[in-house]
Structure 1
Amino acid sequence: MAALDVAGKNVLITGASAGIGRDLALLLARQGANVALLARRLELLEDLAAECSALNSKVALAVRCDVTERPSCQAAVQKVVEELKQIDIIVLNAGMSMGCYFEDIKDLSDGDKMLSLNVMGVANVLHYAFPFIPKESASRIVVISSVAGVVGVPFRTLYCASKWAVHGFCASLRTELLEAYGDKAPKVVVSCPPEVATGLNTNRLKFGNDVTAQFNEETAVPSTVAAEKILESIREGVRIGLFSRVHQWLHSLYNCFPSYIDKIVIDGVKKSHRAPRYGNMPSKM
């Protein structure tokens, strides 16, 4: 099957004001896609929309939306549809992360915020957008997950819970679409980046702690590279989009050799992170 040409496609992106969402919007604009940019910070979206228009987007919309609030989602989708009529590709990208052991959590309310954003934030926007997604194989429902959605990762208990929930949601949705529309079913794509150098990882929820585990940005994937990998998964319509052969291997073997994979992940996190538990946090000036 030929890769999808995104030129002229209408693409809705949540969490578009920064990081992966922003870089993906610019990449799609260069490819000639129309972009609807959703996030809470309207001023940043307006600047981004202007950049997209200056590239190759015929239409670039900036729409304020809090994906945890259903009336906001409904109003945002309505505004997008009034302009674009249909949504060929929806990229559900908004999310937040964490950086502490479960036994170190002092305030569980951050978990409520995370699950509301990472799980229901996906369902909320998709619920209102779904009627306007053409039921054909060229359509894409894209959810930005994480490697932490396919293997367990230290410091990420509730983050992993949110991403594993999203994988289950997408797997179920895929079967419903296949049953209802057969070969014409839209492709459900779950992209699983490793740690990316974005605010998601530098502004992790603290769960009541003074500091969170910090990753070494030198080991992180640049957000521009992540955007390119995600676009590749979108064009190919893959079920699970992993960024490297190592991640594919971890995913494939996790259920066969879980203890071995656990050790590999733990060792990897120890090399890439600074944390109070590791005793390697930088001293305060």
Structure 2
Amino acid sequence: MTQVGELLREARHRRRLSQLELSHQLGISARHLGFVEVGRSRPGRALLVRWLAHLEVPLAVRNQALTAAGYAPLYDDAPLDGVHLREATAALGALLASHDPLPALLLDADWNVVAGNSGLTRLLGFLGVSAPVPDLRDGAPSTPPLPMVDLLLEHGLAATIANLEEVAPPLLAQVRAEAVGVPGLEPLLAVLEEVAGTGGAIDVPAAPTLVTRYRAPGGELAFFSMFTTFGAPLHITLASLRVELLFPADAATRERLALSAG
């Protein structure tokens, strides 16, 4: 039971809750909570499920905790091309396509590119980046996911980012927050730590959102992002996915994209 206790303790620390605060919120004694965290007691299944949900533990990690405690896992982890996910996969494909000619990409919990639209492929080509971007065909990704680290380094996308030292620190903070319980993020975390550590703090004007600027023929292209996720997903695969929609951050970028799409 130590593994479950350690997981619950780490999750509580991330939420910045004391044992007393959390015990009150869960309606249990602080003594019982403490015994569970050190592995001296096992919570009932219903309590463990409620405990994990209250701390917003990722669904995959909730399954791991339930299994470690001797209970059956609760959440399905079938792949994206599974029969039960056909409608969800179709919705993802429609969202990616509807954003064209602007770039859009589907990311998983490890920040792998599961799929992209024509706008993303067109943008990468415009930047001189040759990468095998998967797309959604017949309810499934056409090729294996493309790791973000490979896209940045092996395929050269990072070299095209004009303000990499500016965007790396906030991205690093985001990845660090997501990396707890997600070992697949370690390579990306290492890359961002190296980049963010070289430039130090950068004094830039406050902006409504983070803008990434890419070096391209004829001048820079600037984008900001919006993310879309499933509402209250109860499936591990769906919970791990998000769609990143890129939008022009200035009129020049918007005009150049319209010309290249035509």
**TM-score, normalized by the shorter chain, greater than 0.5:** no
Name the TM-score, length of structure 2 as normaliser.
Answer: 0.26
The higher-RCO structure (CA 8 Å, 6+ apart) is 1
Specify the structure having the higher radius of gyration (Cα). Answer: 2
Name the TM-score, length of structure 1 as normaliser.
Answer: 0.25
